[in-house]
Structure 1
Amino acid sequence: MHHRRPSKPFPPFLLLFMASLLLSLLLFLFLLPPSQTGGAAPSSSPAIRNACRATRFPSSCEPSLSQSPSLPSNPSAANLIDAALSVSASALPTAQSMAESILSASSSNPDRATAARNCLDDLSLSARRLSAAAAAVGVANSHAFAGAALLYQYDCWSALKYVNSTRQVAAAMSFLDSLYALTSNALAMIAALRRFGPDVSLWAPPQTERDGYWGDLSSTVAAEGGGGLFRLHLVAAPDLTVCPSGECDHRTVQEAVNAAPDYGLKRFTIFIKAGIYRETVRIPFEKTNIAFVGEGIGRTVITGDLNAEMSGISTYNTATVGVAGDGFVAANLTFENSAGPKAHQAVAFLSDSDHSILESVEFAGHQDTLYARSLRQLYRNCRISGTVDFIFGNSATIFENCDIKVVPRQESPEKGESNAVTAHGRTDPGQPTGFVFKDCIVNGSDEYVSSYRRKSSVHRVYLGRPWKEYSRTVFLNCYLEEIVRPEGWLPWRGEFALATLFYGEYESSGPGANSTARVSWSSRIPAEHVGIYSLENFIQGGEWVTGE
């Protein structure tokens, strides 16, 4: 007599994967145009059709908004944007579930596990910023938050791209593509509201300087760039003190951060006495308005050596100091990654902190020293050193009066090398991001300059190269030393991004400021448009750089 063997139950992770795949498929079908699904088109109001014409992905825009239960029959611009943000936010839990399933299935694959964890961090930040975009006071703030939410979704997708060796990961990436389109649509509508106002019939897709759109000057800012920067004042009495000897409140910086209040509304100052602090510091989203104050550049040093050559470590994880809490302030200290030039990506400082200010801070490293990743940041009187792409990210950041130095990358400098100072990572023309360098100096360290002068033909330094398609970087009134190549800017790979990036200069001076020899895909900024890149216009600094 033959007995049927009992069937084995499906493993839990497989059930999760199958459920996630089904959800992804359903959303994918939902987002397809009716001609591809075979169904009738959902009825769209004229307002929806006009709003969706202003997006980059109208085929997903109209069906998603037409089926939104929150939209009234005659929606306003605000109604449409709220609905678009809600559609994106409602899809995030599915993406998070898929990432959790990947993590559960990756115990034997440290790189994939790291990618999944980073993806989950990104999706959590994206959810927070989507919520902030919906609740923001002022369209510029909503624009900034929605742009960051899109960045985090892209970075989740990008993290998985490098470990895409399973159907589970491929399904998650496919779902993230659909989610990205939904968030981009919401972002485009916010950009259209900011540019054209609430009359939806006037809305059009986002444009950049390469399309002839420079943005609108604040009525309070002159065309030359307007208002000066406020001096950053730090409270005299710190809330906590850190010192290596242990005779203070804390021995490590991380202990002091952990002791700070969550969601603090007032600045919480951590005074870090002179010394070398060998630690990895993380300031989570909940720790807002934290200030680090040291006893001077080179005297108070926070250093680490994490790098992307290590197993299970990505660029995102290498930061010696990483900040997610808004309102971060730092002054009079050094952030360093000491991994060295052979270690490739090795971040000294990473910031996701909106309204962050760093003054008289040194960032020391080699490749990828300063990761100005997202939102609005200000760096004043800082020193930044590195080799390849050592200022990078997708934030809206102003660098004023900063000393930017290229350091040697090779043990034998006579072999030569190519280094780009910046690699901005804007992926969508609707993101209000870019790097602005004002009154800065670009030079090499003494060692690099010495090697350059011995054999200048093999040492090539460029102002930047396009990490992503809509990369944006400008230099205003900067002094460029001889090490900067006459062509100024370096391609990333072939023709990638050369038609969509914006790289501009205004009144560059010095032996590296050869405007007649610049590449054809860079620009000279007209004087009447320089004010777009001011503190008040570019990062709305008049609202938050108070110096208090």
Structure 2
Amino acid sequence: MLCLTNLINYTSNALAMVVSYDIFGGDMSLWRRPETERDGFWENPKHEPEFRSEFPTKYLVIDVVVCKEGSSDDGSNEQCRYKKVQEAVDAAPSNVIDKKFVIHIKEGVYDEVVRIPFEKKNVVFLGDGKGKTIITGSLGVAHQPGITTYDSATVSVLGDGFMATNLTIQNTAGAPEHQAVAFRSDSDQSMIDNCEFLGHQDTLYAHSLRQYYKSCRITGNVDFIFGNAAAVFEDCLIQLNPKLDNPESGGDNSVTAQGRTEPVQSTGFVFQNCTINGTEEYMALFKSNPKVHRNYLGRPWKEYSRTVFINCGMGDVVAPGGWMPWDGDFGLDTLYYGEFGNFGDGCRKSERVKWSSQLPKEHVNAYSLTNFIQGDKWIPKSSL
């Protein structure tokens, strides 16, 4: 992890220097921080009609099957070669860039930690449905020596081109363990469809590179979607759940904690046509005493944090201010938190904090799949 962090920092510094040289020339005394949306600077996006994506299940050929009991009794005649998901991942060929390796994970609860390394590219998980195919773990930071947030993930992916559909990934470590990640991705051009990510603090770690989440359900209560990827979440259900430690007391909860560290980084979180509310258990607590349950769309984990919500439905669980600070005024002058076309009881434009923004209509297209993560080049398109 230290090696990866150092590489990211060196690359970021180099990129910042190249951009500064390009803008200001060789006299370093003239160099200034590059402008961002906060300064009124916008990239020139493509203005093509947005496409509809479709997970390519019907075009995928299953390579191996994982069965919890080691055999299939559903009449499909599929040969179950493995009992553990990690065994199937280990069987995938290394550094194959022109073919998907498709793993069908049959219905069952798989209590294991799954690691997909750099060399295992284009791995695909096909489950039997959310709540049916479940990969579960319980690693957490607080009381497990040597475990960092990065290492705590139940499933983590480094190999590019990862895809998954129809399964649940969860981390059952609750409040006493603090950071406890269900899913962590460093997979470029990764697509996750119709999956569940269940946890409490730091549920989904979109760590780096380009990621796309479609029709997923994500639950948590503290910074539960975080990282420094360029990630788009489309048609997703984002739900607050109760804290396991004294849930009646409520407190301040943030849905996102995006971690962009430099203004030249093309990273950020984009939520399109999503719904933000609470689980049934959380809503019962919220309705009983709404004043102590304060929930926000995000807070700036890093100085140039960038998150936008576009055409999203927001329940009354979202506080009127919309966004919360991290520590004092850290990042409040450099972040970009934008909203456009949102609706519901949690969307109160006039009461939003002054350091958030209403995204101008003419710049909404900058956050499309095509423009923000170049999705027209790699996300499968619907035939409809």
User: Same fold by TM (over 0.5)?
Assistant: yes
Within the candidate set 45, 48, 56, 1:233 is matched to 56
Alpha-carbon offset, residue 411 of structure 1: 4.3
Q: What residue is the counterpart of 2:67 in the other structure?
A: 243
Q: Helix, strand or coil: the match of 1:263?
A: coil
Q: What amino acid does structure 2 have at the position aligned with 1:515? A: K
The structure having more radius of gyration, on CA atoms, is 1
* Aligned partners of 2:60 and 2:102 also within 8 Å: no
What pairs up with 1:145-160 in 2 under 5 angstroms? 149-150=8-9
Q: What amino acid does structure 2 have at the position aligned with 1:293? A: L
* Aligned partners of 1:230 and 1:546 also within 8 Å: yes
What pairs up with 1:59-138 in 2 under 5 angstroms? 118-123=1-6, 126=7
Q: What amino acid does structure 2 have at the position aligned with 1:337? A: N
CA distance in 1, matches of 2:380, 2:248: 48
Q: Helix, strand or coil: the match of 1:292?
A: strand
* Aligned partners of 1:349 and 1:369 also within 8 Å: yes
Q: What residue is the counterpart of 2:119 in the other structure?
A: 286
CA distance in 2, matches of 1:444, 1:421: 11
Q: What residue is the counterpart of 1:538 in the other structure?
A: 372
Alpha-carbon offset, residue 236 of structure 1: 4.7
CA distance in 2, matches of 1:261, 1:316: 25
CA distance in 1, matches of 2:262, 2:125: 33
* Aligned partners of 2:174 and 2:244 also within 8 Å: no
* Aligned partners of 1:257 and 1:283 also within 8 Å: yes
* Aligned partners of 2:200 and 2:224 also within 8 Å: yes
Q: What residue is the counterpart of 2:38 in the other structure?
A: 210
What pairs up with 1:2-13 in 2 under 5 angstroms? none
State the percentage of identical aligned residues: 52
* Aligned partners of 2:214 and 2:233 also within 8 Å: yes
* Cα offsets for 1:244-265 (capped at 9, x unmatched): 1123111111110110000112
* Aligned partners of 1:241 and 1:272 also within 8 Å: yes
Q: What residue is the counterpart of 2:14 in the other structure?
A: 186
Q: What amino acid does structure 2 have at the position aligned with 1:262? A: S
| Greater fraction of residues in strand | 2
* Aligned partners of 2:271 and 2:312 also within 8 Å: yes
CA distance in 1, matches of 2:162, 2:350: 41
Within the candidate set 89, 109, 120, 1:257 is matched to 89
Within the candidate set 454, 462, 467, 2:301 is matched to 467
What pairs up with 1:135-534 in 2 under 5 angstroms? 149-150=8-9, 180=10, 183-188=11-16, 191=19, 205-218=33-46, 221-222=47-48, 226-234=49-57, 235-247=59-71, 248-265=80-97, 266-309=99-142, 310-534=144-368
Q: Helix, strand or coil: the match of 1:270?
A: strand
Q: What amino acid does structure 2 have at the position aligned with 1:495? A: D
Q: Helix, strand or coil: the match of 2:44?
A: coil
* Cα offsets for 1:306-332 (capped at 9, x unmatched): 000111111011000000000000000
| Greater fraction of residues in helix | 1
For structure 2, the residue ranges without an aligned partner over 5 or more in a row are: 72-79
Alpha-carbon offset, residue 237 of structure 1: 3.1
Q: What residue is the counterpart of 2:75 in the other structure?
A: none
CA separation of 1:317 and 1:298: change in aligned 2, threshold 3 A: same
Alpha-carbon offset, residue 215 of structure 1: 1.3
CA separation of 1:200 and 1:526: change in aligned 2, threshold 3 A: farther
Q: Helix, strand or coil: the match of 1:531?
A: helix
CA separation of 1:479 and 1:200: change in aligned 2, threshold 3 A: farther
Q: Helix, strand or coil: the match of 2:350?
A: helix
Alpha-carbon offset, residue 340 of structure 1: 1.7
Q: Helix, strand or coil: the match of 1:431?
A: coil
Alpha-carbon offset, residue 191 of structure 1: 4.7
| Worse overlay, 245-254 or 226-235 | 226-235
Report the TM-score, using the length of structure 1 for normalisation: 0.65
Q: Helix, strand or coil: the match of 2:195?
A: strand
CA distance in 2, matches of 1:492, 1:382: 27
Q: What amino acid does structure 2 have at the position aligned with 1:399? A: F
* Aligned partners of 1:229 and 1:535 also within 8 Å: no
CA distance in 1, matches of 2:246, 2:202: 21
Superposed CA RMSD in Å reads 2.1
Q: What amino acid does structure 2 have at the position aligned with 1:336? A: Q
CA distance in 1, matches of 2:68, 2:292: 43
Q: What amino acid does structure 1 have at the position aligned with 2:115? A: R
CA distance in 2, matches of 1:274, 1:480: 33
For structure 1, the residue ranges without an aligned partner over 5 or more in a row are: 1-117, 127-148, 151-179
Q: What amino acid does structure 1 have at the position aligned with 2:371? A: N
Report the TM-score, using the length of structure 2 for normalisation: 0.92
CA distance in 2, matches of 1:237, 1:431: 37
- When the two structures are aligned, how many residues end up with a matched partner? 369
Q: Helix, strand or coil: the match of 1:239?
A: strand
CA distance in 1, matches of 2:26, 2:43: 18
Q: Helix, strand or coil: the match of 1:457?
A: helix
Q: What amino acid does structure 1 have at the position aligned with 2:263? A: P
Alpha-carbon offset, residue 372 of structure 1: 0.2
CA distance in 2, matches of 1:356, 1:190: 28
Q: What amino acid does structure 1 have at the position aligned with 2:289? A: K
Alpha-carbon offset, residue 200 of structure 1: 8.8
Q: Helix, strand or coil: the match of 1:371?
A: strand
* Aligned partners of 1:242 and 1:251 also within 8 Å: yes
CA distance in 2, matches of 1:546, 1:487: 37
* Aligned partners of 2:66 and 2:81 also within 8 Å: yes
